[in-house]
Each structure stands twice: as structure tokens, then as C-alpha cells.
């Protein structure tokens, strides 16, 4: 697929200390148990979904609540079941359909441009990080989702929610831009690294961030991670000093 825009991405490595590695394994064990009982069901998590369907969901989920996306998603897919149908839509028609998501003016051309580009290139999304990230508006997060869901990779889905959980539990990230923080990437990858469970573990972090380690105020009192959480420890010290 032809490059539309070369995106910068950090190849800088961060090596986790043995303590952090052990802590990430502890976190993963608890996360897995928590997820079994508390996972959220969304239509885009169906394991029969195509790369097109997952990509559409991920673009919709940007800056929009999952419940709002879940309502519109089936309507959208019924009208545009694949890249070909979507590529033939008009911007106005698309804007009308995606209005409930918000940001419809920005999002409609994104859908359309990606669909046209994919149709021009044999109708399939590429399968490497470099090629995927070369497509405008498929950033590192969506690339990680596609590679993990469809190409057997074990990538961390790093967004503000994952970053918040890592910040609080393991300690603050090192850079402002979460896309280029090698520490954040190393911790998140350590949690989700798995031959068979990477996708589930990524969903688990997202659900945990949405339901327990929430923004702006986390629900520490019901959190299974609190025995080893830095944020919770600091909170306890603060309370005892008051």
C-alpha cells in the first residue's frame, strides 16, 4: 500500500527491572480473574468480526463512549458492510448517519478516505505495522488492535485509559505523549504479552480502566489491585497525615 504519510514512532527500548516485571505478572493474574467476572460485551468483540468491522469500531470509539458506539455500530454496518460499499458513500450521507457519535464532520472524510485507499489496494488492509500506520488516521493504537486481532501479534493497545492505569499502579510515565513513551509501552506489553490471550488481556485493561480505575476518580475501595498500587499507597499516606 502506498505511503500517504510517514508517521514517527518510537523504537526506543525500555528494559523493565525485575521488580516491575514481577509486578506486571502479578497485575496480569489479578486482571485475568477480574475480567472473567466483569468483562463488557460489545458487538465489535465478536470473534467473527472482519478487519473492516473492527477498524470501523475503533474509529468510532475515538473520543466517543462505547455505549454510544454500540448503538450506532449495527446500523452503520448494515448500510456499509465492507470497504467497497463505504467507498461509494457521499460525505454528506455519512455525516448524517454518524451524527449521534459527535465529530461527524471530521469522522466522515476519515471513513471515506480509508475505504477508498483500501479499495484501490485490492480491498484488504495491510498486515504490517509500517504499512498500516502509513494510512492516514490509522495510528499506532488501531494498528496494534488489527495486528493483535488478526495477525497473531501480541501488541499493547495504548490509549489514555491504559496510560492512566499504568501511571497509577506502576508509577508515572516518562513522556507527555503516550504514543512515544518506551516505559509505558514496556509495562503495557509486559501485561498483555501472551501467545493466546493478548487480545483478552487488552480488553481487560480497557474494561478495568472504564469500570474501576476510572477517570477522574478511581474506585480504589473495590479494586483488586490495591494491595500493590502506588496511587493507593500514596493516598493512604496522605490520609494518615491529614
Would you count residue 212 as binding ligand SF4 (CB under 6 A)? yes
Check 53, 58, 130, 131 and give the catalytic one.
58
> Following CA atoms 113, 114, 117, 122 in sequence, which dihedral angle do they give, to the nearest 10 degrees?
-150
Task: Give start and end residues of each alpha helix (H) in 121-222.
Answer: 129-133, 140-150, 160-170, 182-192, 198-211
Nearer to ligand SF4, 81 or 227 (CB): 227
Cell numbers for 3, please give them: 505511503
CA distances from 116 to 108, 110, 135, 176 (A): 12, 10, 11, 34
Least separation in angstroms between residue 155's CB and ligand SF4 is 22
CB 142 within 8 A of CB 59: yes
User: Between 129 and 168, how does the x/- string for binding to ligand SF4 read (CB under 6 A)?
Assistant: ---------------------------------------x
Q: Kindly tell me which of 51 and 218 has the beta carbon lying closer to ligand SF4.
A: 218
188 binds ligand SF4 (CB under 6 A): no
- Counting contacts by CB under 6 A, is residue 220 touching ligand SF4? yes
State in angstroms the smallest separation of the CB of 98 from ligand SF4: 33
DSSP reduced 3-state for 103 = coil
For residue 58, indicate whether it is catalytic: yes
- The residue ranges that bind ligand SF4 (CB under 6 A) are 168-169, 212-213, 218-220, 223, 225-226, 229, 231-232
Amino acid at each position: 500500500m502506498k505511503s500517504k504519510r510517514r508517521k514517527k514512532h518510537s523504537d526506543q527500548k525500555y528494559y523493565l527491572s525485575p521488580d516491575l516485571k514481577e509486578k506486571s505478572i502479578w497485575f496480569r493474574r489479578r486482571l485475568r480473574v477480574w475480567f472473567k467476572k466483569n468483562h463488557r460485551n460489545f458487538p465489535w468483540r465478536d470473534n467473527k468480526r472482519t478487519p473492516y468491522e473492527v477498524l470501523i469500531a475503533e474509529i468510532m470509539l475515538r473520543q466517543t463512549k462505547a455505549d454510544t458506539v454500540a448503538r450506532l455500530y449495527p446500523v452503520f454496518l448494515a448500510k456499509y458492510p465492507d470497504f467497497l460499499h463505504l467507498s461509494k458513500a457521499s460525505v454528506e450521507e455519512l455525516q448524517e448517519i454518524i451524527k449521534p457519535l459527535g465529530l461527524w464532520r471530521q469522522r466522515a472524510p476519515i471513513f471515506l478516505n480509508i475505504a477508498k485507499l483500501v479499495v484501490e489496494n485490492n480491498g484488504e488492509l495491510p498486515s504490517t505495522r509500517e504499512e498500516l500506520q502509513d494510512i492516514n488516521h490509522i495510528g499506532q493504537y488501531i494498528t496494534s488492535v488489527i495486528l493483535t486481532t488478526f495477525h497473531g501479534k501480541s501488541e499493547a493497545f495504548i490509549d489514555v485509559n491504559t496510560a492512566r492505569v499504568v501511571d497509577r499502579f506502576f508509577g508515572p510515565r516518562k513522556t507527555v505523549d503516550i504514543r512515544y513513551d518506551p516505559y509505558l509501552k514496556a509495562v503495557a506489553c509486559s501485561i498483555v504479552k501472551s501467545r493466546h490471550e493478548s487480545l483478552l488481556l487488552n480488553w481487560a485493561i480497557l474494561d478495568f480502566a472504564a469500570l474501576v480505575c476510572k477517570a477522574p476518580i478511581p474506585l480504589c475501595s473495590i479494586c483488586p489491585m490495591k494491595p500493590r498500587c502506588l496511587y493507593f499507597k500514596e493516598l493512604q499516606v496522605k490520609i494518615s497525615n491529614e
